[in-house]
């Protein structure tokens, strides 16, 4: 776990959050930090034993938490999980769409059904959960005052900002998730006051995503990050609190990269010292070359 939180421990007091994929990885850390900052949390996932262990661990920190089994691709599951959250925890303020499919595969080795599976979990799942939650998140939704509205945070990626090896399915799915964030921010921001934003994590250590890379690649990932280190799950959880709490109350339709600048990374092809010398030499040459005919 990261360092001490910069937020007040009551910043999410009275809020209820539903976090899909909240039983493990980044989204479990989001559930933990939301709970430590005053929220009650519901976590959703497909595997009961994972949810049970996560709820026990949240409970041991004094966090009020429930686990509700379900698949984000299934609209009956989505409605049931949202309704269970509201009936057991009283209301719904924050939906985190975190459930995601991910595996590395070369494009020609990926079957169309494999492609569809990830689109279904990430993109359709984000839409299905948001759709099931909208009536509870909107102003005046159950347990809320007439001006109080909820928040949606969808976990995306930076893969599709350029292109990445062996992740054609995930990149396409996350590009679509970013598009959902913008469309929902426009429609539901206008009509219901719901803020819809995203977080695009970069390389985050100790996650199922990074476990799929081999140790050598993990080392390389850290080397190319402009800030010189892999991210921690804590970094993503703090960004989620920032967007969910009043700190983010004018942020709507944004997807925030939390990646230490990784997606901008390019190898430095010449050192600063070489550049300075080379630059001076080039200037000198061009000045000398211009002198004979120059009228300036
Ligand atoms: N490589 C290539 N294709 C794969 C694959 C892999 N590693 N894993 C699944 N597929 C393909 C299957 O072959 C199948 O396609 P086919 O019917 O043409 O053969 C298709 O995907 C569906 O597989 P299935 O196992 O039925 O899907 P599922 O609904 O159980 O979901 C995963 C499987 C792998 C998508 C999902 O469980 C997953 O991604 N889990 C890991 C979650 C994770 O790491 N999250 C972190 C996010 S960063």
Find the distance separating the first CA and the last CA of the chain, reported in whole Å.
64
Q: What are the boundaries of each domain within the chain?
A: 16-266
**Whose C-alpha lies nearest to ligand 1, atom 15?**
114
Lowest mean pLDDT among 15-19, 68-72, 239-243, 283-287: 283-287
Q: Quick one: pLDDT at residue 47?
A: 98
Domain 16-266 classification at class level: alpha beta
pLDDT at 130 over 70: yes
Q: Which atom of ligand 1 is nearest to the CA of 120?
A: 29
Q: Which atom of ligand 1 is nearest to the CA of 114?
A: 21
Indicate the top mutation candidate among 27, 99, 114 to test ligand 1's pocket, ranked by most ligand atoms within 8 A of CB: 114
Q: How far apart are CA 284 and CA 262, in angstroms?
A: 36
User: DSSP 3-state assignment of 48?
Assistant: helix
Name the pLDDT band for 210 (thresholds 50, 70, 90): confident
Among candidate residues 200, 213, 208, 210, the one with its CA nearest the CA of residue 260: 200
Residues lining ligand 1, judged by CB closer than 6 Å? Answer: 25, 100-103, 105, 110-111, 113-114, 117-118, 208-209
**Tokens for 141?**
């939704």
Residues 3-55 have pLDDT tens digits of 899 999 999 999 999 999 999 999 999 999 999 999 999 999 999 999 999 99
Q: Quick one: pLDDT at residue 281?
A: 84
What single string gives the DSSP state of each residue in 236-286?
HHHHHHHHHSGGGTT--S-EEEESTTGGG-----S-HHHHHHHHHHHHHHH
Q: Quick one: pLDDT at residue 34?
A: 98
Q: Which atom of ligand 1 is nearest to the CA of 102?
A: 39
CA dihedral of 120, 124, 130, 131, whole degrees rounded to 10? -130
Task: Provide CB contacts within 8 A for 58, sequence distance 6+.
Answer: 31, 32, 35, 41, 43, 65
């Amino acid at each position: 776990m990261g360092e001490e939180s910069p937020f007040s421990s009551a910043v999410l007091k009275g809020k209820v959050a539903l976090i899909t994929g909240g039983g493990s990885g980044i989204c479990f850390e989001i559930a933990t930090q939301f709970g430590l900052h005053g929220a009650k949390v519901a976590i959703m996932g497909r595997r009961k034993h994972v949810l049970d262990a996560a709820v026990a661990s949240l409970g041991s920190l004094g966090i009020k938490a429930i686990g509700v089994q379900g698949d984000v691709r299934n609209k009956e599951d989505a409605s049931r999980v949202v309704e269970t959250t509201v009936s057991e925890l009283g209301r719904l303020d924050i939906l985190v769409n975190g459930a995601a499919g991910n595996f590395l595969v070369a494009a020609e080795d990926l079957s169309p059904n494999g492609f569809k599976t990830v689109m279904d979990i990430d993109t359709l799942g984000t839409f299905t959960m948001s759709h099931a939650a909208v009536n509870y998140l909107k102003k005046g939704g159950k347990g809320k005052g007439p001006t109080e509205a909820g928040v949606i945070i969808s976990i995306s990626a930076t893969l599709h900002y350029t292109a990445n090896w062996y992740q054609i399915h995930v990149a396409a799915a996350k590009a679509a998730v970013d598009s959902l964030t913008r469309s929902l921010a426009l429609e539901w921001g206008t009509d219901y006051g719901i803020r819809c934003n995203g977080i695009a994590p970069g390389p985050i250590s100790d996650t199922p995503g990074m476990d799929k890379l081999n140790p050598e690649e993990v080392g390389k990932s850290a080397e190319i990050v402009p800030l010189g280190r892999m991210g921690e799950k804590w970094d993503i959880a703090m960004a989620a609190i920032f967007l969910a709490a009043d700190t983010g109350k004018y942020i709507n339709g944004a997807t925030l990269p939390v990646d230490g600048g990784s997606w901008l990374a390019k190898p430095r092809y010449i050192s600063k010292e070489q550049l300075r010398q080379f630059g001076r030499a080039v200037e000198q040459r061009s000045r000398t070359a211009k002198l004979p005919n120059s009228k300036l």
